[in-house]
Amino acid sequence: MAVKPQYFNILVVDIEKFGARPNPVQSFLRDSLYGLMERVLDEAGIDRLGASRPFDRGDGMFLLLPGSVAKTDLVGPFVARLRIGLRAHAQTSNATAALRLRVVLHSGEVGWDGRGWVGEDLNTACRMVDHQPLRDALSAAEDAHLVLGISDAWHRAVLRHDYPELDTDSFRPVRFDTKEIHDETVWVRVPGYAVPPGLDGAPPAAGPPLIAVGRAEETARPAPQHSSSTPAACTTPDRTVRSTNMTAERSDDYERPIVYQSGGVAQQYVGTNDGVVTQSVNGGDGPAADPELLAHVSALRRALREAHERHEVDGETFEGASHALDEATREAASGPSGRNRFVLALRSFRGLVEPVAALAAAAAAVITAVKGA
């Protein structure tokens, strides 16, 4: 029969480390995945009735969605809901039954030949989901439940326009070469991380290294290795610094204080006043902290702590969101050069607290205000 290609949005998902599980666990994970995908698509308002039925890939599946489905709905609400569903699965499963996914979004012409779907664009999407950088990013992101890869065509059509509802700054490009595909690009994001870890040139998942705090001690800090994709602003010169115990402890939301060394200035989060103390070290006046940004972080930190006390935010989310605010604090204290990275940190915070509407809206308002300034 003649194959008549049609335009579809192509969604491919793959379960991490599927083949290493016992057969009963593999069956459980497949059932969990199919049920989760149906539920998440419905919750995100995606037209599942107009889609193809899910096609099995053994350790995953692909789904062809109508071209009329908005790409912004797939990159935004669908991925956000999928992340929530995977977190819920993790709360009731052990490591053996862990469900972590590589997710790919692409689009193009696909045709039905009477036995199955066929088309170059479908082949490309299936190659993308197996691409090693996606595997590396998910493996390195121990606190994440999914990694998202989108094609360069999707980036040109959607992400480059910086729609306000999408966390576009957290995507990073990686080269895509495999079999018949050469010198293409895949854009990678790990929801909950300002930058996807595990990629060449990406900073470590835990953020910049922290100076030990406690008794005063000499700490030797080697200069980090430069890479072509690491901006100079993210590096710290090789020097010896002295950390001092400026506060005994944080407030109840954290058990330890933080001192961060940046360009001859140490910034310390002080839990008792939700603020930052900036101290010059080894000479160097350092950049001037932005009081407006610090005030925004202080307000968000208080709101997060109150949400945690009301049990609207669980412990895992609270820890991750607090770390995102720590990163925002460091960038706010680094002066005007840190504003873009401040926005990235708040987008990470917003993604983590998305189920709490008031917190997510507060973070979105700060992001809008900072970007518009």
The answer to whether residue 55 is domain-embedded is yes
Number of alpha helices (DSSP H) and beta strands (DSSP E) in the chain: 10, 13
Written as one letter, the residue type at 296 is: H
Residue 60 belongs to a domain: yes
Structural domain for 84, as ranges = 6-189
Q: Which of 144, 173, 189 is the last residue of a domain?
A: 189
Decide: residue 193, CB within 10 A, 0-12 exposed, 13-18 middle, 19+ buried: buried
What does pTM read for this prediction? Answer: 0.56
Asked which of 169, 189, 209 is the last residue of a domain, the reply is: 189
Tell me how many domains the chain contains.
2
Does some domain include residue 22?
yes
Task: Classify the C-alpha dihedral 188-108-159-226 as positive or negative.
Answer: positive
Residues 57 and 15 in one domain: yes
Clarify whether residues 227 and 342 are in a common domain.
yes
Residue 280 located in a structural domain: yes
Same domain, yes or no: 233 and 182:
no
- Identify whether 209 is part of a domain: no
CATH number at residue 42: 3.30.70.1230
Residue 3 token pair: 């194959």
229 and 148 within one domain: no
Whether residue 199 is contained in a domain is answered as: no
How far apart are alpha carbons 355 and 79 in whole angstroms? 13
pLDDT by 10s per residue, the chain, length 373: 688 889 999 999 999 999 899 999 999 999 999 999 999 999 999 887 777 788 888 889 999 999 889 999 999 999 999 999 999 999 998 989 999 999 999 999 999 888 889 999 999 999 999 999 999 999 999 889 999 999 998 999 898 898 888 888 889 999 887 777 777 899 999 998 989 998 865 444 443 332 222 223 333 333 334 333 333 333 333 333 333 333 333 334 333 334 333 344 444 444 434 444 444 344 444 456 778 888 888 899 999 988 888 888 887 788 778 878 888 888 887 767 678 888 887 887 887 888 888 888 888 888 888 877 6
Does one domain contain both 337 and 271? yes
Say whether both 114 and 157 belong to one domain.
yes
DSSP per-residue string spanning 143-173: T-SEEEEEEHHHHHHTGGG--TTS-GGG-EE
Same domain, 24 and 164: yes
- My answer on whether 160 and 286 are in the same domain is no
336 lies in the same domain as 283: yes
197 part of a folded domain: no
- For residues 128 and 224, membership in a common domain is answered with no
Judge if 93 and 28 occupy the same domain. Answer: yes
Answer yes or no: do 242 and 368 share one domain: yes
User: Quick check: is 30 in a domain?
Assistant: yes
What is residue 239's predicted lDDT score, i.e. its pLDDT? 32
